[in-house]
A and B are shown apart, each in its own frame.
Chain A
Amino acid sequence: MRILITGGHVIDPSQEFAGRADILIEDGRIKTFAKEKKLRNNQAQVIDAEGHWLIPGLIDMHTHLREPGFENKETIKTGTLAALRGGFTTVCAMPNTNPVNDNPGVTEFILKKARAEGHARVLPIGAVTKGQMGEELAPLYMMREAGCIAFSDDGRPVANPLIMRRALEYAKGLDALIISHAEDPVLSDGGVMNEGLLSATMGLKGSPAIAEEVMIYRDIALSELTGGRVHIAHVSTLGGVRVIRQAKERGIAVTAETCPHYFSLTQDAVCGFNTSAKVNPPLRTRRDIEAIKEGLKDGTIDIIATDHAPHGRAEKMSRQFDDAPSGISGLETALSLSLALVEEGVLTEMELIRKLTQTPARILRVDGGTLKEGMPAELAIVDPQRRSVLKAAHLKSLGQNTPFDGMEMKGAVIKTFFGEKIMEWGQE
């Protein structure tokens, strides 16, 4: 089968290309990437992408697919469908499932399930410690053999600095990446929103920005000491950005991500005890948002990940704020929210797409995130101008927990290609 996508504005950071190009897909692979010239239609199905963007399939380094164990929140099947809906063709599955992905058996289960039912590529992330308890190292080598591409205790920090040191030392031998959920649990002390006047007046326990900053500093220092590679997940604070920037200036090989909600919403979103805006790390302040944008702009923050954290409606929306689980269903809103950065002049379109494709591929050391000839056809066609009102109930994810429900979104994925599969998305 041949498909010719013609007339689109192609952005492929891996080839440093942004401009008009035609792309011919044959049998699920990119056959021809024709810059600045028109390909002839030799018996191909033609897709006219005039006025649209053509981008490599996005790579999400931070996804909670919930399977096994929490299939009421999300499954590999629904989560990967949501991924395609959002333009993502690769998602990295965090290990906080039940059982925890802390052994090759669970890793193999996830990969098998993804092959059988998944709509997109699933790259498992293994736990750093057994049961994510922060006490004993998990069998990182065997999990790597089984297919884990990185390790993280995401959802909870590795509280004990000695265990983190050992993990980084050990991972270095495997050349494995450790992803740090940077939160000092003693300082955050059970906080459920950002600490400040708002938390005090709402009577909610605050998690201070310093809890993130201190932990980022610790993990960078340990990375420097051990030479183990560390990636800081979901940076949300001004202080965090500053610490990472200083480390990079000193030449430490740390990488970092932030998520769309940390540059789109302030803590005010939780007013009225709105649990859909409860997320960990918590939404912060206007100053933090500005710092995050600055960090994205100057490269301190390497990538944008979703921290897609779906939850069931009852547990997320019908519990008191303290008891409601943290997280935002983010795969299907990430690109629209990120496009605002281009509109605001924070990033160029090339820089933005790079943070969603080439750079995560480089950090993970995996293929993908490119439109080079011969690579699998993983790409998305995006209408950057299309406006629509987000309806949580229309999300493909089982997790309809989003604080953006009812808001107008600009920019929409209209088609996603994953190998031979082509998904076309309607207006809703």
Chain B
Amino acid sequence: MASVKHLLGIKELSAQEIMLYLNSAGSFKDILKRDIKKVPALRGRTVVNLFLEPSTRTRTSFELAAKRLSTDVINFSAPSSSILKGESLLDTALTVEALGADIIIIRHSSSGAPHMLSRHIKAHLINAGDGTNEHPTQALLDAFTIKEKKGGFEGLKVAIVGDIIHSRVAKSNIYCLKKLGADVRLVGPATLLPEEFRELGVSTTTSMDEGLEEADVIMMLRLQLERQGKGFFPTTAEYFRQWGLSKKRLETAKPDAIVMHPGPMNRGIEIASAVADGDNSVILEQVTNGLAVRMAVMYHLDERKEQ
């Protein structure tokens, strides 16, 4: 049984712990389908969304998930925070904790920021994305979506496409899917996909056709447009020609392959609209599943006592 107090990354989790979250998420998803989409499970708890990097989608998802569990939620985001006044991240987090936070959800542009806080903070921490390190709840919701659609992970061919090195989503997914037994291939330009990743037990290729061949799952990553002009790739048009997921490219994968994207999408840059809105796409279901998985994470972390 899971024993860690925080959710800092998938790297630190065992396959068993991952499965605990995935197995419980279904029960939380059921709640979301009811008329009364709320349970008193964490009544009286306080959840603080400490989002020090702009994000609406993830913050909203965590906020709603927390509310569905009957917690009180406080949003503490970058523009309004005292971080702008020069307060350190640790001081801000200690202040939030002193206000009575039981669970702190942290997003920060520095890799390892939640790990640093975990050495000083008693509240449960959930990493909602740290720099280019990890985004564990995204990987859990992706795994939950795959499990729902494909039944399991063993031997499943999953292609992750795009800016791998700068993607915390990609990294958490690599760790998660490897632990669950999937066959993971990484696809992207060599400037954004170091071959060292092979040491993690995945294959790498710069060829989209090779990467998508017979794939069961295609995970498209968001291309950070600011990388353009830094020598990683020449233009977005050229990028789409090589690594964009078009209707035609999709035919390389298995007919029942599912197409995933963590959002927000750059339509026409990494993914064609026809694919994003097409039959193979599970992109909107990922959003719904995100709520269920985040509820499961908060619920189970709350069970963990001081170690």
State the A residues within 8 Å of B (CB): 196-197, 200-204, 272-273, 275, 317-323
Contact = CB atoms under 8 A, between A and B. Distances in A.
Contacts of A203: 111-112, 130-134, 168, 171
Given A197-B199, A319-B88, A202 B112 contact: yes
Contacts of B130: 203
Please classify the interface of chain A as helix (H, G, I), strand (E, B), loop, or mixed, using the class held by over half of its residues: loop
A165 B134 CA distance: 44
6 contacts: A201-B200, A204-B112, A273-B115, A318-B90, A319-B116, A320-B116
A200 B196 CA distance: 9
B115 A272 contact: yes
Contact of B111 (A196, A275, A317, A322): A322
Contacts of A201: 11, 171, 200
Interface string B113-132: 10110011000000000111
Given A203-B133, A323-B110, 11 more contacts: A197-B194, A197-B196, A197-B200, A203-B130, A203-B171, A204-B112, A319-B89, A319-B90, A321-B112, A322-B111, A322-B131
Most B CB within 10 A of own CB, among A203, A317, A322: A203
B197 interface: yes
A150 B171 CA distance: 46
B275 interface: no
A298 B15 CA distance: 49
B165 interface: yes
A273 B116 contact: yes
A273 B90 contact: no
Given A200-B194, A200-B197, A275 B171 contact: no
A270 B113 CA distance: 14
A-B pairs with lowest CB-CB distance, top 3? A203-B133, A273-B112, A203-B111
A323 B111 CA distance: 10
Contacts of B132: 203-204
A320 B194 contact: no
B262 to A, nearest CB: 16
B108 interface: yes
Interface in B85-107: 88-90
Nearest to B113: A320
A303 to B, nearest CB: 33
Interface of B: 11, 88-90, 108, 110-113, 115-116, 119-120, 130-134, 165, 168, 171, 194, 196-197, 199-200
B110 A200 contact: no
Contacts of A272: 115
B111 A321 contact: yes
Contacts of A320: 89, 108, 110-113, 116
A318 B118 CA distance: 10
A200 B133 CA distance: 8
Given A196-B196, A201-B200, A203-B171, A322 B110 contact: yes
Nearest to A320: B110
A279 to B, nearest CB: 16
Contacts of B171: 201, 203
Contacts of A321: 110-112, 116
B196 A318 contact: no
A319 B119 CA distance: 11
A317 B117 CA distance: 10
B111 A273 contact: yes
B129 to A, nearest CB: 10
A273 B134 CA distance: 13
Contacts of B197: 197, 200
Nearest to B117: A320
A197 B200 CA distance: 9
Contacts of A196: 196
Nearest to A322: B110
Nearest to B196: A197
A196 B199 CA distance: 11
Most B CB within 10 A of own CB, among A275, A318, A323: A318
A291 B168 CA distance: 34
Contacts of B113: 320
Contacts of B165: 200
A201 B199 CA distance: 11
A202 B110 contact: no
Contact of B116 (A197, A200, A204, A318): A318
A325 to B, nearest CB: 13
Nearest to B230: A189
A201 B165 CA distance: 8
Contacts of A323: 110
Contacts of A204: 111-112, 131-133
Nearest to A273: B112
Most B CB within 10 A of own CB, among A197, A201, A322, A323: A201
B12 to A, nearest CB: 9
A102 to B, nearest CB: 28
A74 B295 CA distance: 48
A207 to B, nearest CB: 14
Most A CB within 10 A of own CB, among B111, B120, B131, B197: B111
A200 B11 CA distance: 13
A23 to B, nearest CB: 48
A233 to B, nearest CB: 27
A318 B120 contact: yes
B7 to A, nearest CB: 15
B28 to A, nearest CB: 29
A8 B192 CA distance: 60
A174 B90 CA distance: 49
Nearest to A321: B112
B203 to A, nearest CB: 15
A202 B90 contact: no
Contact of A318 (B88, B108, B110, B168): B88
Contacts of A197: 194, 196-197, 199-200
B124 to A, nearest CB: 18
A327 B70 CA distance: 46
Nearest to A318: B90
A321 B112 CA distance: 6
Contacts of A202: 111-112, 133
Nearest to B175: A201
B96 to A, nearest CB: 15
